[in-house]
Amino acid sequence: MGTTTKDHAELSDIFNKDEDRVNWHDETLWFVRAKRDKAAHYIPEWEDLRENASQIKDNVLSNLSQYLISFEEKAQKNGIIVHWAADAQEHNKIVHQILTDNGINRIVKSKSMLTEECHLNEYLEHNNIEVIDTDLGERIVQLAKEAPSHIVLPCIHKKKEEIAELFHQHLGTPKGESDPIFLTAAARIHLREKFITRKAALTGVNFAVAETGEFVVCTNEGNADMGAHLADVHIASMGIEKIIPKRKHLAVFLRILTRSATGQPITTYSSHFKKPRPGQQMHIVLVDNGRTTQLSRPDFRSSLKCIRCAACMNTCPVYRRSGGHSYHTAIAGPIGSILAPNLDMKEYADLPFASTLCGSCSNVCPVKINIHEQLYKWRQVIVKEGYVDSKKATAMKAMEFTLSNPGVYKTAGKVGRWFMKHLPFTVNNNINSWYKQRDMPEVPKESFGEWFKKQNDDK
Amino acid sequence: MMTSRERILNLVKANQPDFLELPEIFPSWKTELSLTESFSAILKTIGGTIVQLNNLEEVAQYISTQFGEKGRIISTLPELADVTESGWKNNDPHEYENVDLAIISAHFGVAENAAVWITEELMHQRAVPFICQQLAVVVSAKTLVPTMHHAYDLIGEADYSFGTFIAGPSKTADIEQSLVLGAHGPKSMIAFLLP
């Protein structure tokens, strides 16, 4: 772990200081997970669809170079300008150059986790270009000078009273007015002015079709469309893994994406951009930024199948109780924890350990990524590479010694139970990191081994 | 020097796994509801309004009684010329910012999610169905298809410049998961369902 940044456990401590908020966060995301279940059960062939989606993505990864070449060729024929960026820095430079060439210093942006990953906003602002995030949740965290804490629900960590205060300060709404309908209406007026006056719009990409050279952007708010259709210059940033082979495959992905994300049957808008409108410039930036490295790792390459629905976050017992910011990376939660170590194994060495390995993430994943197995595999890679922190390494060595020596194991259990019973303060303290945010369980009188032996002896 | 394009493509080619075939896709649709019932029920749950009428004359009548002289009303349907603004086309898209109601038609609707498919020529300009305060879409019940698979079968290899599925009004739940209709786009969406 980096010496300057806090790790997942330390950042979770901060989030856990407000117990009511943690409970609300936990219950709200579980509610979204429940809505996903209801939507999935409405489709009798749901499991077939997941299998289809998974296999299409497997094919994409196995033939990605051809699909990228085909996509580029078709997109160019359609009048779209295609750029290639090896890393975040190059992506940001390309975007900046397009804006400079057009004499533009103010842009609107709809949701793009890739631009979060590349820290585009900071880069552009450093170069005197104003960026307005137009997704309501993203605008809220931008005003708060924070990062999104969830890829679909960017400000799920915020209470409406805090948003009211932000809007009061920045948009001039009455102090203490926290009604979501009122606040949304205020944001609508505030952002309409931006849509009408900005000459360039940046969007993300949900799917790009190799067969036709078109790309699809999904939103509920309509902010990607408002930006793109009013701007002279539309820039779409996408990771190279967003390619799908044929237009008809959109059916599979549009059926599963939003049902998995929020439980809606489809987003309000699923817009297919194929050609720029007359007089408009349309650019696509194809970004690698570590994706080809992840593609080279057989154990982890299937993480590139992700369609960013966030179902794994909503279901994750660790994410729900630790909040997105505790993951200190653009994409939080289980999927983020298998993507981030690829970018920087040392910086994100803590993330694969931020999981109970319960497997719920893999069960809900619409493209069947074996997320929890990859978390487990990353742990082994990280320990082997020596990036694990010293406390965890010592504990793991002690555990290895104990578990490989039956005599030591039995004694350790007895000693532990004795301490918890007679000297509880030795475990119920803040030196024991397990005790934080938890109550220690009641001490059993005997171990399972002892109980089992007794049962057999009684017979 | 190698360009980023070459470098990325070389790395992808070197690192991608052995070729795996594309799967067959078998769409199925198992429900007791008719296509119209399903489309109508789902549109209501996602915040839209269904108005079942018999023809475009009735649509024109509905608009004049429900919206009358209220605000700016535009339409791409020639049959609605009498009740909508004339000469609104071929303007800069920003100019439609004060449109209160836009009435356009859709190629078809999808029963499983109440989405309607609209391409650029049906909008006149791409901005129209997003920038208006309220959107109304005319769709024929005959065109309804069960699922998105059927939808893409219909779209086939159509060469549109821009196309979009629209399902209900613009919405957000970003503030404490409270659903609010009318985020940036239309605050309401009416589907005029004709036979």
CB contact under 8 A, B164 and A270: yes
Contacts of A137 in chain B (CB under 8 A): 172, 174
CB contact under 8 A, A188 and B115: no
Query: Which chain B residue has the Cα nearest residue A192?
Result: B184
Regarding whether A443 and A323 lie in a shared domain, the answer is no
> How far apart (Å, rounded) are the C-alpha atoms in residues A53 and B20?
13
Regarding whether A90 and A5 lie in a shared domain, the answer is no
Contacts of B114 in chain A (CB under 8 A): 265
Residue B135: domain span: 33-87+106-171+178-194
Regarding whether A255 and A209 lie in a shared domain, the answer is yes
- CATH, residue B42: 3.40.50.10420
Residue B154 lies in a domain: yes
Flag whether the ipTM exceeds 0.95. yes
Distance from CA of B97 to the nearest CA of A (A): 8
Q: How many domains does chain A have?
A: 3
Asked whether the whole model's pTM tops 0.90, one would answer yes
- A156 touches A150 (CB < 8 A): yes
Place of tokens 């690192």: B15
Q: How many domains does chain B have?
A: 1
Angle at the Cα of B41 from the Cα atoms of B38 and B47, rounded to 5 degrees: 135
CB contact under 8 A, A229 and B125: yes
Residue A152 lies in a domain: no
Q: Encoding tokens for residue B98? A: 């004060």
Distance from CA of A177 to the nearest CA of B (A): 13
Regarding whether A415 and A390 lie in a shared domain, the answer is no
Beta-bridge partners for B184: none
Burial label for B169, CB within 10 Å (0-12, 13-18, 19+), is buried
Regarding whether A354 and A207 lie in a shared domain, the answer is no
Residue A378 lies in a domain: yes
Regarding whether A285 and A314 lie in a shared domain, the answer is no
A442 CB neighbour count, 10 Å cutoff: 8
Q: Encoding tokens for residue A255? A: 């059926």
Residue A151 lies in a domain: no
Distance from CA of B188 to the nearest CA of A (A): 12
Best of A220, A259, A264, A320 to disrupt the B interface (most B CBs within 10 Å) is A220
Angle at the Cα of A94 from the Cα atoms of B2 and A197, rounded to 5 degrees: 165
Residue B1 lies in a domain: no
Regarding whether A430 and A336 lie in a shared domain, the answer is no
Per-residue pLDDT of chain A (459 residues; tens, 9 = 90+): 334 478 999 999 999 999 999 999 999 999 999 999 999 999 999 999 999 999 999 999 999 999 999 999 999 999 999 999 999 999 999 999 999 999 999 999 999 999 999 999 999 999 999 999 999 999 999 999 999 999 999 999 999 999 999 999 999 999 999 999 999 999 999 999 999 999 999 999 999 999 999 999 999 999 999 999 999 999 999 999 999 999 999 999 999 999 999 999 999 999 999 999 999 999 999 999 999 999 999 999 999 999 999 999 999 999 999 999 999 999 999 999 999 999 999 999 999 999 999 999 999 999 999 999 999 999 999 999 999 877 777 777 777 777 778 887 788 778 777 777 777 776 666 666 666 666 667 778 888 888 888 888 876
Regarding whether A256 and A118 lie in a shared domain, the answer is yes
- CATH, residue A268: 3.40.50.10420
Residue A432: domain span: 405-458
Contacts of A63 in chain B (CB under 8 A): 16, 19
Residue A178 lies in a domain: no
Contacts of B99 in chain A (CB under 8 A): none
Residue A165 lies in a domain: no
Amino acid B156 reads G
Regarding whether A110 and A246 lie in a shared domain, the answer is yes
- A257 touches A218 (CB < 8 A): yes
Residue B2 lies in a domain: no
